């Protein structure tokens, strides 16, 4: 249960409670409620409405991402079967760079944008225009540095070309994600859901077309660029439909505020992507494309499971942003509910993975039979990931814990990178799989200790 709405120091209802009460006041019955019920009952009434709204938003995102992951699942099977292990391994590397550079160029701006819009402290149109400009500027610099680095340091020219096309897709994505962040912060989850469906369908259709017409792994990578362009155009049209425009006037002082507010989230985002993607990149450079392809197909299936806790965490983030100020005791209850429900759900998904995915590999991807062992190992991470992802939003929703979270993230990344560097050269994708499991357990343990010590102790 989540309750975001309290009487502030001036004796006024917070914005979220007023919105909830405004919805209630539509009916004559609601007017009676306002005049007859005690303050406690009014707050409880708002609390019930808010809980329903949050879970409705979560369900919308979960439903959309379920469809996206279903499409992605079959698209992954198609690519893995059509490209072969080595070429699919190159595709995995390109996607890893895509994810990593996305995080670097974003630099925490997405989290900052959602937080500020959710709080209602800054003009949405002004903030959006500044953030789009800033994102594109940062991306241009990062892309130039990355292009020079891979061109001169990577001897595999096909891998270089694929990586550059994948990173170029971040250009339209930067605009699209800025708009999507606005929709999420305003709790317009249906618009966000439609956007990601359009992106998934476009990527799949264009990718299948290119691969079937003989473009191979290069075609699959260019499809990502084309799909991101379609996504940016579509979500921009949704923005205009909501009568939100990008204001061309820019202010230097606001850029400074954005960078300062985004910096901690940017560091965390980069550390998080290094944590999740470094194993694939290290496999590619230390063991070659074959090991990367085997591990990549296994990890793709694991990533498909994370959409549920990610959707829940995304839907709750604006809520938790206010809850830190409103009611720590309620936040504690939310954390326990998340822990219980996501643990059970994670165990159920683990069982499904172990029973179903080996059959899928045997019947549809026989050339990937060695990946069954990696899948069985990686599936052990699912319960820990299901709990960790939404609970981490508790810390990210407030500035007060960011220094500690950054320190904790650095420890997690070092733990993961050092173990991968030690075990990948000898054990390849099997070593990388076990390191992923141990790293997720270690990360969740650190998160639990941090939340207990610095949040629950004050609730």
Residue at 400 is within a domain: yes
pLDDT of residue 133: 84
Report if residue 52 sits inside a domain. Answer: no
Q: Which residues of 254-287 are buried (b: 16+ CB within 10 A; e: fewer)?
A: beeebbebbbbbbbbbbbbbbbbbbbbbbbbeeb
Q: Tell me whether residue 16 is in a domain.
A: no
**Three-state secondary-structure class, residue 155:** coil
343 in a structural domain: yes
Confidence at 309, pLDDT banded by 50, 70, 90: confident
Cα 273 to chain centroid distance, Å, stands at: 10
Q: Look-up: residue for tokens 């799909």? A: 227
Considering the domain boundaries, does residue 177 fall inside one?
A: yes
Boundaries of domain holding 299:
60-458
Cα(248)–Cα(377) distance, integer angstroms: 51
pLDDT of residue 206 exceeding 70, the answer is yes
Q: What is the pLDDT of residues 129-162, one digit of tens each?
A: 788 888 888 888 888 998 999 888 888 889 999 9
Q: At what angle do helices 252-286 and 289-305 cross, to 10 degrees?
A: 130
CB 275 within 8 A of CB 424: no
The span from the CA of 428 to the CA of 192, in Å, is 38
Report how far residue 75's alpha carbon sits from residue 417's, in angstroms, rounded to the nearest whole number: 30
User: Into how many domains does the chain fold?
Assistant: 1
DSSP for residue 120: T
For the ranges 76-80, 257-261, 395-399, 433-437, the lowest mean pLDDT is seen at 395-399
Tokens of 303: 């990533």
The length of the chain in residues reads: 459
Half-sphere exposure of 414 (CA within 13 A, CB side): 6
Task: Give me 42's structure tokens.
Answer: 């009014």
Rg (the chain; Cα; Å): 23
pLDDT over 90, % of the chain: 21
Q: What is the mean pLDDT of the chain?
A: 77
Query: pLDDT-derived band of residue 213, with 50, 70 and 90 as boundaries?
Result: very high
Mean pLDDT calculated for residue range 221-248: 85
Q: Tell me the DSSP string of 16-68.
A: HHHHHHHHHTTSHHHHHHHHHS-HHHHHHHHHHHHHHHHHHHHHHHHHHHHHH
Q: Is residue 17 part of a domain?
A: no
Task: Flag whether pLDDT at 450 surpasses 80.
Answer: yes
* Residue 32 forms part of a structural domain: no
- Reported confidence tier of residue 430, pLDDT bands at 50, 70, 90: very high
133 near 259, Cβ under 8 Å? Answer: no
* pLDDT value, residue 452: 79
> 3-class DSSP state for residue 3?
coil
Flag whether 8 is in a domain.
no
């Amino acid at each position: 249960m989540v309750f975001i709405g309290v009487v502030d120091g001036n004796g006024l209802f917070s914005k979220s409670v007023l919105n909830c009460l405004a919805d209630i006041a539509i009916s004559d019955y609601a007017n009676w409620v306002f005049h007859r019920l005690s303050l406690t009952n009014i707050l409880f009434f708002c609390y019930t409405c808010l809980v329903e709204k949050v879970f409705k938003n979560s369900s919308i995102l979960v439903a959309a991402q379920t469809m996206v992951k279903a499409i992605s699942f079959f698209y992954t099977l198609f690519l893995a079967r059509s490209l072969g292990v080595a070429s699919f391994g190159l595709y995995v590397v390109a996607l890893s760079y895509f994810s990593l550079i996305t995080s670097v160029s974003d630099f925490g701006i997405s989290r900052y944008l959602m937080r500020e819009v959710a709080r209602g402290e800054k003009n949405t149109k002004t903030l959006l225009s500044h953030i789009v400009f800033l994102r594109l500027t940062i991306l241009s610099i990062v892309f130039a540095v990355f292009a020079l680095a891979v061109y001169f340091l990577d001897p595999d020219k096909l891998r270089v070309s694929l990586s550059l096309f994948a990173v170029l897709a971040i250009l339209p994505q930067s605009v699209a994600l800025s708009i999507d962040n606005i929709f999420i912060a305003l709790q317009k989850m249906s618009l966000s859901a439609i956007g990601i469906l359009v992106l998934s369908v476009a990527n799949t259709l264009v990718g299948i077309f290119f691969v079937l017409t003989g473009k191979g792994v290069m075609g699959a990578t260019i499809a990502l660029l084309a799909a991101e362009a379609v996504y940016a155009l579509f979500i921009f049209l949704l923005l205009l439909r909501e009568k939100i425009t990008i204001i061309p006037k820019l202010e230097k002082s606001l850029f400074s505020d954005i960078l300062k507010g985004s910096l901690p989230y940017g560091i965390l985002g980069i550390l998080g992507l290094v944590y999740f993607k470094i194993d694939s990149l290290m496999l590619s450079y230390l063991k070659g494309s074959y090991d990367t392809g085997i591990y990549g197909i296994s990890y793709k299936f694991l990533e498909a499971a994370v959409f549920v806790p990610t959707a829940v965490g995304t839907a709750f983030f604006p809520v938790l942003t206010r809850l830190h100020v409103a009611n720590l005791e309620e936040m504690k209850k939310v954390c326990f509910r998340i822990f219980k429900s996501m643990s059970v759900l994670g165990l159920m998904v683990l069982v499904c993975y172990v029973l179903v995915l080996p059959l899928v590999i045997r019947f549809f991807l026989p050339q990937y039979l060695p990946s069954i062992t990696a899948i069985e190992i990686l599936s052990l991470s699912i319960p820990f990931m299901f709990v960790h992802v939404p609970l981490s939003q508790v810390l990210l929703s407030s500035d007060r814990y960011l220094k500690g979270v950054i320190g904790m993230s650095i420890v997690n990344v070092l733990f993961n990178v050092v173990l991968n560097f030690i075990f990948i050269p000898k054990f390849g994708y099997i070593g990388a799989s076990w390191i992923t499991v141990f790293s997720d357990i270690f990360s969740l343990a650190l998160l639990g200790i941090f939340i207990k010590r610095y949040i629950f102790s004050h609730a």
